[in-house]
Amino acid sequence: MSLTRPDLDALPAYVPGRSVPGAIKLASNEVPYGPLPGVVEAVTEAVAGVHRYPDMGVTELRGRLAERLGVDTERIATGCGSVALFEHLFRVACLPGDEVVYPWRSFEAYPIIGATTAAKSVRVPNTADHGHDLDAMAEAITERTRIVIVCNPNNPTGTAVRKAELDAFIDRVPANVIVALDEAYREFVTDPSVPDGLVEYGDRPNVVVLRTLSKAWGLAGLRIGYLIGSPEVAAAVRKVVTPFSTSLAAQAAALAALNQEPEMRRRVELVVAERARVVEAVRKVHPDVPETQANFFWLPLGEQSAAFAAQCERAGVIVRAFQGDGVRVTIGTPEENDAFLGAL
Ligand SMILES: Cc1ncc(COP(=O)(O)O)c(C=O)c1O
């Protein structure tokens, strides 16, 4: 007898990038330069008040984000990482049997969330060069589809969708289907033809943009993400969000981090410069590394993936293997990247 759902046995567990004491961690797409200035002080000050619940409306932070993004505060919802916001979005959009279309391989949380909400996952294989097959994704939309996800840039392959193709795709999506633009890595995009989802499509009621403070803003450990949608969609998400899940410390840290945009940009530029250097070096050994617009790159090593990651680990570098498919390597500091290149 089981006390939990029998179908959970078939559910893949979310695999976090491993942290091995003493090893270099290039497995979780974090930025390696520590918290932004002022964040530790803001959190330290905030924890004196942790016997009280945080502001459930996340008013100040939502206001600050709204101001930065040039949208009304009512269009913003925050959550315990953007991963939680995906779960809330699935929940507010999907009844049993409704479908969510997403590219595959992509962010590993999508199928896990799909399997435990009412949504049925419809996976559309990536193209041979590891990008989204937007035509096939548009064709996969049925009258049961409630959400279609575009992960731009895509985790774990780093590939990005350009404006012209995204324009055409979004025009093909029916107005009653949500287009969820996952822009967790937006800050690392350097190609101007990769559209900012909010700037280009934010005025469409069925477009929802999801972003995070975990990556470029350096707050992965505090768990905070946000979405910008129509007032109706954002309000629905706020209705189902786990109460108080944007914690007191997360709100304080996010406000402090958002004051440090120039420093965030400086760090992103270091990552982007290293990305070019490392990918060029890796391509001398593996010419098929796809172009990346994120803070990681993809080695399509197929069946060799787990062995490659194990070899890196023996050399003191932790990367993320997706056995049978490829290995994702996060860009770290120049010294960390040199250690990876040495292992390679
Ligand atoms: C594509 C993508 N979306 C969303 C997330 C969620 O990030 P978080 O929950 O830390 O905000 C991640 C994290 O790895 C990601 O890679």
Q: Which pLDDT score, from 0 to 100, does residue 258 have?
A: 98
Q: Which pLDDT score, from 0 to 100, does residue 4 have?
A: 83
Where do we find the tokens 């409630």?
146
- Regarding the beta carbon of 182 and ligand 1, being less than 6 Å apart is answered yes
Number of neighbours of residue 190 by Cβ within 10 angstroms: 12
For a mutational test of ligand 1's pocket, the pick from 31, 78, 82, i.e. the residue with the most ligand atoms closer than 8 A to its C-beta, is: 82
* Integer Cα distance of 189 and 94 in angstroms: 31
Whether 18 shows a pLDDT value over 80: the answer reads no
- Regarding the beta carbon of 256 and ligand 1, being less than 6 Å apart is answered no
**Ligand 1 atom nearest residue 151's Cα:** 1
The pair of three-digit structure tokens given for residue 202, joined into one six-digit string: 């934010």
Q: Which pLDDT score, from 0 to 100, does residue 99 have?
A: 98
E-assigned strand segments in the chain:
24-25, 76-79, 99-104, 120-125, 145-151, 178-182, 207-212, 225-228, 296-302, 317-318, 320-322, 325-330
Mean pLDDT for the stretch of residues 298-319: 97
Whether 170 shows a pLDDT value over 90: the answer reads yes
* Integer Cα distance of 17 and 28 in angstroms: 5
Where do we find the tokens 């206001």?
63
Mean pLDDT for the stretch of residues 39-44: 98
First-last CA distance in the chain: 48
CB contact at 8 A, 83 and 116? no
* Integer Cα distance of 203 and 226 in angstroms: 17
For a mutational test of ligand 1's pocket, the pick from 150, 155, 212, i.e. the residue with the most ligand atoms closer than 8 A to its C-beta, is: 212
Distance 3 CA to ligand 1 centre (A): 30
Number of neighbours of residue 97 by Cβ within 10 angstroms: 9
CATH of domain 39-258: 3.40.640.10
Mean pLDDT for the stretch of residues 153-173: 98
- 256, containing H or E segment: helix 248-258
- Regarding the beta carbon of 81 and ligand 1, being less than 6 Å apart is answered yes
- Regarding the beta carbon of 260 and ligand 1, being less than 6 Å apart is answered no
Distance 113 CA to ligand 1 centre (A): 13
Mean pLDDT for the stretch of residues 37-52: 97
Is the domain spanning 15-35+261-343 CATH 3.30.1330.10? The answer is: no
Mean pLDDT for the stretch of residues 82-108: 97
Q: Which pLDDT score, from 0 to 100, does residue 215 have?
A: 98
What is the DSSP annotation of 97-141? Answer: T-EEEEEES--THHHHHHHHSSPEEEEEEPPTTSS--HHHHHHT-
Number of neighbours of residue 288 by Cβ within 10 angstroms: 12
- Regarding the beta carbon of 106 and ligand 1, being less than 6 Å apart is answered no
Domain ranges within the chain, ordered by starting residue = 15-35+261-343, 39-258
State what percent of residues in the chain have pLDDT above 90. 92
In Å, the largest CA–CA distance within the chain is 57
Q: Which pLDDT score, from 0 to 100, does residue 5 have?
A: 83
- Regarding the beta carbon of 107 and ligand 1, being less than 6 Å apart is answered yes
* Integer Cα distance of 245 and 53 in angstroms: 10
Number of neighbours of residue 68 by Cβ within 10 angstroms: 10
Where do we find the tokens 């974090």?
30
**Ligand 1 atom nearest residue 225's Cα:** 11
- Regarding the beta carbon of 83 and ligand 1, being less than 6 Å apart is answered yes
Q: Is 12 exposed, middle or buried (0-12, 13-18, 19+ CB in 10 A)?
A: exposed
**What is the residue with the minimal CA distance to atom 16 of ligand 1?**
155
CB contact at 8 A, 247 and 53? no
For a mutational test of ligand 1's pocket, the pick from 78, 85, 182, 211, i.e. the residue with the most ligand atoms closer than 8 A to its C-beta, is: 182
Whether 10 shows a pLDDT value over 90: the answer reads no
Query: Phi and psi at residue 25, in whole multiples of 5°?
Result: -100, 110
**What is the residue with the minimal CA distance to atom 8 of ligand 1?**
81
CB contact at 8 A, 96 and 118? yes
* Cross-strand bridge partners of residue 42: none
The candidate with the shortest Cα–Cα distance to 333, out of 25, 70, 5, is 25
Number of neighbours of residue 22 by Cβ within 10 angstroms: 5
Mean pLDDT for the stretch of residues 198-210: 98
**What is the residue with the minimal CA distance to atom 3 of ligand 1?**
184
Distance 184 CA to ligand 1 centre (A): 6
The pair of three-digit structure tokens given for residue 15, joined into one six-digit string: 């695999």
Distance 110 CA to ligand 1 centre (A): 10
Tell if the pTM clears 0.95, that is, is over it. yes
